[in-house]
């Protein structure tokens, strides 16, 4: 028993010795002298260097973002006065505001449907398990990453300049961004499909089109629908601000209310947006639960 414990001690010290430069010393009493740990070793310097870089990066971000808690404290009384002026809500133009809310939902719905139809074939091209040729997959993947990397508002501003003010510019801008998001998420879902059915279909001599039609599409359709519903839900939230850049929806009413400091109308519009987004969220979540 004593020999076994001694062997375990020697083994442990041997492991420690691998991380220490000093040799293990044995005292005259028979006990081993525990090696001293070095504060400035590679095992401690690397985490400390990473932590220091992260802290420096965050401090630089705080400086660039001009975070000023004093300005926030000074502005709180002003926000409180505005909130006090917002009651009671402004209901004289309620029908117009509801029409803008319906326009907002319409922009998101049309854009999501159009993006889903375009994104599915693109997601087939970039799915690594379907064997698309590199000369086709790489440009399509770059195109999708580009669409996904540019925000909807930026696209909307471009299309407002191209096709004029109105919800159509919002539909075009939102469609482009949604194509990138849906294609990327759907391709990731396709790549998780089991390999066996796809390999069996390929061994049977089926063409790539038949494999996609009879094996990939039925298996990926629930995830495609789930992704599209999620994007639709996000698009409804995003379309509430498209009006600020002239791309239609309830955002144009919100911008007018802010410019005129009409806090009663702003409160009513905010309440409509909250109700609209909550209903859409619940409806989308219910449909996704039924599909997945």
Owner of token pair 């849906």: 182
pLDDT score recorded for residue 2: 47
Rounded to an integer, what distance in angstroms lies between the CA atom of residue 112 and that of residue 185?
14
Segments making up each domain of the chain, as ranges:
93-291
Give the burial class of 237: count Cβ atoms within 10 A of its Cβ; 0-12 exposed, 13-18 middle, 19 or more buried. Answer: middle
Question: Residue 191, exposed/middle/buried by CB under 10 A (0-12, 13-18, 19+)?
Answer: middle
pLDDT value of residue 38: 63
37 secondary structure, DSSP code:
P
3-state secondary structure of 32: strand
pLDDT at 7: 53
CATH of segment(s) 93-291: 1.10.3720.10
pLDDT, one tens digit for every residue, the chain (292 residues): 444 555 555 454 454 444 455 566 667 676 766 666 666 677 778 888 999 999 999 999 988 988 888 888 888 888 888 888 878 877 788 888 888 888 888 988 999 999 999 988 888 888 887 777 888 888 888 888 888 888 888 888 888 888 888 888 888 988 999 998 898 888 888 888 777 777 777 777 777 777 777 777 777 788 788 888 888 888 888 888 888 887 778 888 888 888 888 888 888 888 888 888 888 888 877 877 776 6
- Rama region for 107: left / alpha / beta (φ>0; ψ in -120 to 50; rest): alpha
Model's pTM, two decimal places?
A: 0.71
Number of H helices, E strands in the chain: 12, 2
Instruction: Check residue 266 and give its pLDDT.
Output: 86
């Amino acid at each position: 028993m004593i020999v076994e414990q001694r062997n375990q001690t020697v083994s442990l010290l041997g492991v420690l010795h691998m991380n220490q430069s000093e040799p293990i010393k044995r005292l005259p009493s028979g006990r081993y002298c525990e090696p001293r740990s070095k504060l400035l070793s590679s095992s401690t310097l690397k985490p400390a260097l990473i932590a220091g870089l992260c802290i420096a990066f965050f401090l630089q971000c705080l400086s660039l973002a001009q975070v000023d808690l004093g300005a926030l404290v000074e502005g709180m009384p002003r926000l409180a006065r505005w909130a006090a002026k917002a009651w009671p809500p402004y209901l004289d133009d309620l029908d117009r505001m509801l029409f803008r809310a319906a326009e907002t939902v319409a922009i998101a719905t049309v854009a999501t449907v159009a993006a889903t139809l375009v994104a599915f074939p693109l997601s087939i091209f970039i799915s690594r398990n379907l064997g698309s040729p590199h000369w086709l997959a790489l440009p399509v993947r770059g195109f999708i990453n580009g669409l996904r990397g540019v925000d909807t508002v930026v696209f909307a501003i471009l299309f407002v300049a191209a096709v004029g003010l109105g919800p159509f510019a919002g539909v075009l801008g939102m469609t482009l961004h949604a194509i990138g998001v849906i294609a990327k998420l759907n391709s990731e879902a396709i790549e998780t499909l089991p390999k066996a059915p796809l390999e069996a279909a390929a061994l049977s001599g089926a063409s790539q089109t038949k494999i996609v039609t009879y094996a990939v599409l039925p298996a990926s359709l629930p995830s495609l629908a789930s992704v599209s519903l999620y994007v639709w839900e996000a698009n409804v939230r995003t379309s509430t601000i498209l009006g600020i850049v002239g791309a239609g929806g309830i955002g144009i009413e919100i911008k007018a209310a802010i410019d005129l400091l009409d806090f009663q109308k702003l409160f009513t519009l905010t309440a409509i947006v909250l109700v609209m987004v909550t209903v859409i969220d619940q409806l989308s979540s219910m449909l996704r639960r039924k599909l997945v």
